[in-house]
Amino acid sequence: MPEPCVGAVLLWDGALLLVKRGQEPGIGQWSLPGGRLEPQEAWQDGVEREVQEETGLKVNCGEFVGWVERSVAGHRYLIADFFVTTEDPSGATPGDDAGDLTFVDPEQIKSLELTAGLEEFLFQHSVLTP
The ranges assigned to domains in the chain are 3-124
Average pLDDT on 54-67 reads: 97
**If residue 11 lies in a helix (H) or strand (E), which one and from where to where?**
strand 11-12
Confidence (pLDDT) at 25: 78
**In this predicted model, what pLDDT tens digit does every residue of 65-105 receive, in sequence order?**
999 998 888 889 999 999 999 999 999 999 978 889 999 99
The percent of residues in the chain predicted with pLDDT above 70, rounded, is 100
Confidence (pLDDT) at 44: 98
The percent of residues in the chain predicted with pLDDT above 90, rounded, is 80
- For 109, phi then psi, to 5°, come to -60, -35
pLDDT exceeds 80 at position 27? yes
User: Which of 23, 31, 10, 36 is closest to 91 using CA atoms?
Assistant: 10
Q: What is the DSSP-derived secondary structure letter of residue 110? A: G
Q: What is the DSSP-derived secondary structure letter of residue 112? A: S
Confidence (pLDDT) at 42: 98
Q: Classify domain 3-124 by CATH number.
A: 3.90.79.10
Confidence (pLDDT) at 69: 93
Average pLDDT on 46-75 reads: 95
Average pLDDT on 25-40 reads: 93
| DSSP 3-state of 41 | coil
